[in-house]
Amino acid sequence: VEAKKAAAELAITEIQDGMIVGLGTGSTAYWAIQGLGARVQNGLRIQAVATSEASEKLAKELGIPLIPFADISEIDVTIDGADEVDPDWHLIKGGGGALLREKIVAFSSKKLIIVVDESKVVAQLGAFPLPVEVVKFGYELTIRKLRALGCEPKVRVADNQPFVTDNGNCIIDCQFASIPSPAELHQAINGIPGVVENGLFIGMARKVIVGYKDGSVGSL
Ligand code: A5P
């Protein structure tokens, strides 16, 4: 907890009056939203968009003003977590199932700040199974095409049912032996009809803040 909180607290120091802020999802982004809530209560004036229903609910509880996507063209800063970060700042995201909304928000953000604890930093992506969001229609076929890319695909289950995303889709967790060429794999996966989006975030992060067990922080 300390490591995640420390990283999140450093990240929110970048947020200033008047900004439109993207709120990430997960247990690290949670601390960023908490910290922003406290600053808003102390007079910080921001407007926010959320990357999941869970984060939207938390923001509302904390009194962070939310703005409809229709009213914005760009987001100033988004603060989000990740499941893996490599030395090129490529990411695997979607462990929490929010990868599609996270990628939509990240793509329209001037700056994406990633907050992680040290356990997420890897030399090469792929030990964490890559989450892929797929539509339910014909997903047995979609899964075969994913397997043909060289992974062991598994339908994500929650409470003995296939997990359903905020967008009404399924998540297939794809275990590759390793992911030596993340950009190519990203293209190949998104080229399969039935795939909505995958959890590889290539060249999107502009800053990575790493929190350590002793509460110290550093940049990657
Ligand atoms: C949510 O879909 C993910 O992309 C999260 O950003 C990721 O799982 C990180 O979550 P934690 O901070 O809880 O590890």
Kindly report, residue by residue over 149-201, the tens digit of the pLDDT.
999 999 999 999 999 999 999 999 999 999 999 999 999 999 999 999 999 99
CA 81–ligand 1 middle distance (angstroms): 5
CA terminus-to-terminus distance, the chain: 19
Say if ligand 1 is within 6 A of residue 52 CB. no
Say if ligand 1 is within 6 A of residue 83 CB. yes
Say if ligand 1 is within 6 A of residue 46 CB. no
Residue 86 region by backbone torsions, left for phi larger than 0, else alpha for psi between -120 and 50, else beta: beta
Q: Hey, is 203 helix, strand or coil?
A: coil
Say if ligand 1 is within 6 A of residue 103 CB. no
- Digit-coded pLDDT (tens) for 28-59: 999 999 999 999 999 999 999 999 999 999 99
CA 73–ligand 1 middle distance (angstroms): 25
Active centre residues (catalytic): 102
Indicate the pTM of the whole model: 0.97
- The answer to whether the beta carbons of residues 100 and 132 sit under 8 Å apart is no
CA 172–ligand 1 middle distance (angstroms): 16
Tokens 């300390």 -> residue? 2
Say if ligand 1 is within 6 A of residue 90 CB. no
How confident is the prediction for the chain on average, in pLDDT? 97
Q: How many residues does the chain have?
A: 220
Closest atom of ligand 1 to CA, residue 24: 6
Q: Hey, is 81 helix, strand or coil?
A: coil
Closest atom of ligand 1 to CA, residue 120: 14
Proportion of the chain above pLDDT 90, given as a percent: 99
CA 26–ligand 1 middle distance (angstroms): 4
Predicted confidence (pLDDT) at residue 220 exceeds the cutoff of 90: no
